[in-house]
Amino acid sequence: MKNDLNTRNSVDKELAKKENSKPKKSENQKEKIIRTAIKKFSKKGFSNTSMDEIAKESKVSKGLLFYHFNSKEELYVQALAQGIDSTLDFADKLTEIAEAGLFQKKENLFQDLEKYYDLVVTKREKDLERLWLDGMLEAKKNSKLKKILIEREEKLMKIGVELLKAGRETTNMLEGHSDAELMEVAKGLLALYKGIMLEKSIGKNPKEIKKSWVRIAYSVYMTSK
């Protein structure tokens, strides 16, 4: 019976290769599968989502699904990595926000944080945030997933340190803090963001979440030595 199953999977993959012969079509299908996976995993979690569901909603054959991804774990890892990478890409745009006039004057910090929250924090996709939270739970029992989360979070913290350094130079925020200490601040701000994701996921009042985030971030930025 095991041999029959292996034979069937091999046939499915061969059919998928023929179905998937055009490179551009292949990439579009793969992206569609990943987008569907992000949606499904974020709503139901890794354990409660099946590959059958993802194939059906993606409107692809199961053979094609397994042609692109050898297992549900591989699809989950790629979906989570792509989701966090989209956050990293967005974080790179924060320089444009600074150029628009935010975080240039210390006396405007509180108002700038409110504007930043509206421009950046509230614009992050809820599906990606829920998937990130689910990924943190799954990472306890999946070393590959844990490694990806750690790598992505380290990149986020490095971006955060660069922004903190820019603010230190232009407004004297976090005056007297070394680069190493700014890394600790960045870690704290990332932890704050994770807390915000959790509060959003349980349906806490958005205005209260914003108020808490702005006040805590303001207190952190205004710390001096």
Q: Are residues 150 and 175 both part of a single domain? A: yes
Domain that holds residue 36: 2-70
Q: Residue 3: what pLDDT?
A: 41
63 and 86 in contact (C-beta within 8 Å)?
A: no
176 and 85 part of one domain: yes
Same domain assignment for residues 60 and 137: no
CATH code of the domain containing 33: 1.10.10.60
Last residue of a domain, one of 16, 48, 70: 70
> Is the domain of 51 the same as that of 124?
no
What are 9-49's pLDDT values in tens digits? 554 555 555 455 555 667 789 999 999 999 999 999 999 99
Q: What is the DSSP letter of 124?
A: S
Answer yes or no: do 120 and 101 share one domain: yes
Q: Which residues of 38-76 are buried (b: 16+ CB within 10 A; e: fewer)?
A: bbbbbeebbeebebeebbeebebeebbbbbbbeebeebb
Last residue of a domain, one of 23, 38, 70: 70
Total domains in the chain come to 2
**Domain boundary at 70, 89, 111, which?**
70
Residues of the chain with pLDDT under 70: 1-25, 89-96, 98, 100, 225
